[in-house]
Structure formats: C-alpha cells, structure tokens
Amino acid sequence: MTLDAIDADRFHRRPMPPPPAASADRAWRGLALSVPALAHCAALGGRLLDADRLLLVRNAQLHSFAGLATMLAEGRVVLRGAGLPVRDHAPLGALATWLSWEWFRADTVVQHALGLILLVAVGAALFDLLRAARASAPIATIATLAFALHPCAADLSAPLAGRDALLALLFSLLAARRALAASPPAAVAWSAAAALTAGLCAPGYGLLGLVPAGFVRPRPARRVAFAAAALATLAALALTRGADRLMPSLLAVSAENTASLLAWIPSPTPLIAMTAAARVSLAGMLPLIFAALALGLATRTDDPDDVAFLRAGAAAMIASMLAAGLAGTALVVGGTSSLALHLGFVLAATGIVRAHGASLGRWARPWMLVAFALPAALTVHRVRHWSMEDSVLHALADRRAEDPEGSLARARLELRRGRLAAAAPWCVRYALAQPGTGRADGCIGAMAAARGDHPGAVVLLRRWASALGDRRALRAASLELSEALPDPRFSEAFREATGYALPQRRPGETR
C-alpha cells in the first residue's frame, strides 16, 4: 500500500465533524432551555413560604425512615399531631420530598433550585419529543419556549409543592419519546407505565399516560394503549386513595377545585389561581371544550404526525381537568394543573403548524424569539411574587371568608402591619377551625401576655415555638409578633417559653 493510500485510509477512519444540521439543532435546543432557566431563576432568591416550611421543616415524617415508610404506605403527607394535610396522596412525590430534605434540609436556594432543574428537564424532554416526532428545530424551540415561559409555569417552579406535578410531566414526556420508537407492545407498556408513574407522583396526573398513547401506531395498538393508560390511571388512584373511597375522589372533579385551571390565563396578576379558587366551578369545562376541538381537527388531518400531536394535546387537556379536580386537599391551592393544560395547547398547536415547518425553517432566526419577551416578563413577575410572603398572604386572604388558611393569612398580614388587636379575631377564628395545628398559638399567646396571663402565654408560646422546628423560621415569626406587640411582658414570656431573647431586626433588614 502506498503512503498516499495509508493517509487516505487514516483520513476516512477519523471521526467526522457533526453536520451543520446537528450543530444548528443543538443551538436551537440550547436557546429553548437557557431562556426559561434565566426567567425562572428569580425563584432562587426567594424564601421558603409558610406552606413550604409545613411541608419540610414541620413535617416529622420526613425526618426518619419510619416516617418515609408511613408516607409510602398511606400515600399522604400529614402534619402529625394536627391532622393537617400538606400534600395530597402522592407516594413518589412524597419520596422525592423526603430525599430533598435528607440531602439538603431547609437550604432555601437548593430547594428552589430543584424545582428549576425539574422545569428545565421537562423542557428538554418536550424538545426531544417534538424533534423525534419530526417537528423542525425552530418549531420545537418555539413550542418549548411557549411552554416554559408561560406564566403558569411559575406556579410549579417557585413553590416546593409544584415539584410533584413537574415529576409527573417529566415521566410522561420521557415515556412518549420512548413510545415513538418502540414496537407496538412496548409502546403500550410505556403508556401504562407513564400513567401509573405520573399518578403516583401527583394526584390525578395518571391520565398523562394518554400522551404517549397518542403517538402509538398502528390504530389497534393505539386503542390498546389508551385502554392500558386508563386502567393504570385507575390503579394509581386506587393505590393513593388512602382511607377514601375511589368514586368520591372522582366526583371531586366536578367541584370548585377546577377553578385552579384559571392560572392558565396569562394575567399580570400573580397567583390568580389562589385568588380565584372556589369561585368559578365551571373552569373544568374549558379543557373538555378545547380537547373536543383538537380531536375534531385530528379527524380532518391527513399527516399521521400532526394527528398524533393533536391526540396527545387533547389527552393532556383532559388530564389537567382530572388533576385540578383532585387537588383539593392541598394546604395551598395553586395552579399546578394549569401547566398540564398548557402542555395540551402546545402539543395541539404544534400539530396545527407543523405542516408549515419547511417554510418556517427557511425564514426563522433566533432573534425573532424576541416576541417571547412579554410572556417571559410576566413569568418573572409571577415567580418573584411567589417568593414574596406578602403576595401569597394577600392571595390567600382574598379567598372565601370561611377558609381557615384565609383567616390565618389575614391575621399574619395584620401582624406584619404591627396591629395585634386587628389580628386577634382572625387568630382565634383559625384556632377554632384548626384546633390541633397550633399555628395561631403565637398570636394568641401574645394576646395572653398583653392581658397579663403569663402562665397561659408561656404554654402557648412553647407549643408554637416547638412546632416551628427551625430557628430561622422561629426568628421570622417572632419578629412579626414582637413588632406588633412591643411589650416587656411578651418578651419575658417568650424567653421563658423558648430560652431565647426576642430577636431584633438587623440594620437594613426588610420586613
């Protein structure tokens, strides 16, 4: 062999550089993931909300292996000794929360970073699914940005309770990607596995297993996949119902809980689902109407990939209705199910515009994505308000008057304004509605100290402080009380109950 032939042989054996199309695809993917990450990173500067502390710090089940076994057996996270549910039935979601506590405790930045990482992972899974289903890179990028930059995504990335729904969405999208390239029996198995796993991550999310079923071919296998996903959803509901019966849980879908779907509205008003909860009971009809429209368009579409997107979008919309209806026992009702509704819109819209993918690919440029500046700004706005305790308290206070959490929120708002007398009736009202929680004992103990009932104040303040569990939480809560009641009798009762002197606000420290 000549020297030239040897050099030529070595040249052909070298790894070739990736084609320009692959490089462009990576660029579009990086853009689709980096922009939402920047928008949602505003959550990293937020504090743990009161509901987050109930879930982590004041939840004794998270602090031992025995508690983990109880959570996995019962499927529900309950504040022991109070009977207050802080999480719906969700064994895998409870396991994820247990692991986050064991590894990172109450580290605020890390706990919020976990939600951000999950959201980016869901966006990556969506982008990969769209590309695998033959959507062009620009269309996949636009769809991913439309999904992750919608303001309702902040309801999952900012509060810790939204991580369950993010896990469910992630597993369903990963299963849909696998079902695309799998044989019909394997695709059916992926659909059933997605339904069971998503249903164990967050209550009612099992119907997300219909999303991978929508991509299954041929038609007989797809019908089997839909049936398998529905049965797996019922199995997940049966496994997570706890002491409840299955049918009453399903009937809850028609109740007022579906008003949380209003969080899908891209309003500049933050926390709209919490404000509107229990006011509009017909919000659950919206997913059904749009799902019917998507399925109707699917019957008039020829391209099988476009039809698959429309079917999967309709499935996600239906799943959002079930998830919203079964989210009624959570301590703070947010708009977590609205992101599943939005995923349905994104998938269905992808099926509608995918036929124009070739023309979009020719004229689309990354700078044109400046159109997402407004939704990105609204997303940052909502994320920031999730990190502000006053905003969350105002949203809770705007709910119906008989809501105990609304009463406690009104009391805390008055305390933060330095008005103990105005907070007192709301504290008593909450204590009567939730006598075992002790969350209003600090306020009632301060009133007892102001009346001169020193022994009663010490008992109440001791129980209140021991339930907080975290010294940072105790400091923040005692600052609210001490600034509302600058009374030496309260300071003396607090010292005897806790062993600490009342803290003082540091120079420059904001309320």
What are the pLDDT digits (tens) for 16-73?
Answer: 444 456 777 899 999 999 999 999 998 998 888 877 877 787 777 777 788 788 777 7
Say what the pLDDT of residue 76 is. 63
Say what the pLDDT of residue 52 is. 82
Average pLDDT of the chain to the nearest whole number: 83
Q: What is the distance between the terminal CA atoms of the chain, rounded to a whole angstrom?
A: 82
Half-sphere exposure of 134 (CA within 13 A, CB side): 15
Sorted by sequence, the CB contacts under 8 Å of residue 245 that are 6+ apart come out as none
Taking 60 as the threshold, does the pLDDT of residue 420 lie above it? yes
Q: At 226, is the pLDDT very low, low, confident or very high (cuts 50, 70, 90)?
A: very high
Say what the pLDDT of residue 275 is. 58
Residue 215 phi/psi, 5-degree rounding, is -95, 0
Average pLDDT over residues 102-108: 89
Say what the pLDDT of residue 492 is. 94
Q: Are 444 and 479 in contact (CB under 8 A)?
A: no
Token output for 422: 């105005």
Q: Which of 162, 154, 51 is nearest to 381 (CA)?
A: 154
**Residue 463 and residue 368: Cα distance in Å, rounded?**
58
Say what the pLDDT of residue 161 is. 81
Given the DSSP bridges, would you call strands 84-87 and 77-79 parallel, antiparallel or unpaired? antiparallel
Query: Between residues 242 and 374, which one has the greater pLDDT?
Result: 374
What's the burial of 215, exposed, middle or buried (CB within 10 Å: 0-12/13-18/19+)?
Answer: buried
* Amino acid at the residue 71: M
What are the pLDDT digits (tens) for 121-180?
Answer: 999 999 999 999 989 888 899 999 999 999 889 988 988 888 989 999 999 999 999 999
Say what the pLDDT of residue 6 is. 43
Taking 50 as the threshold, does the pLDDT of residue 118 lie above it? yes
CA distances from 26 to 124, 125, 281, 363 (A): 11, 14, 44, 18
**Residue 380 and residue 209: Cα distance in Å, rounded?**
30
Q: Are 350 and 135 in contact (CB under 8 A)?
A: yes
- Residues belonging to the chain: 511
Say what the pLDDT of residue 313 is. 96
Taking 50 as the threshold, does the pLDDT of residue 11 lie above it? no
Q: Are 142 and 136 in contact (CB under 8 A)?
A: no
Of 268-282, 305-319, 410-424, the one with minimum mean pLDDT is 268-282
**Residue 358 and residue 340: Cα distance in Å, rounded?**
28
Average pLDDT over residues 395-404: 75
**Residue 450 and residue 464: Cα distance in Å, rounded?**
17
Q: Using CA of residue 350, residue 355, residue 358, residue 360, what is the dihedral sign? A: negative
* Residues facing 87 on adjacent strands: 77
What are the pLDDT digits (tens) for 295-352?
Answer: 999 998 888 999 999 999 999 999 998 888 776 544 444 567 889 999 999 999 999 8
Q: Which of 48, 59, 156, 155 is nearest to 108 (CA)?
A: 48
Taking 90 as the threshold, does the pLDDT of residue 182 lie above it? yes
Per cent of the chain over pLDDT 70 is 80
What are the pLDDT digits (tens) for 352-373?
Answer: 888 665 566 567 676 777 888 8
Q: At 465, is the pLDDT very low, low, confident or very high (cuts 50, 70, 90)?
A: confident
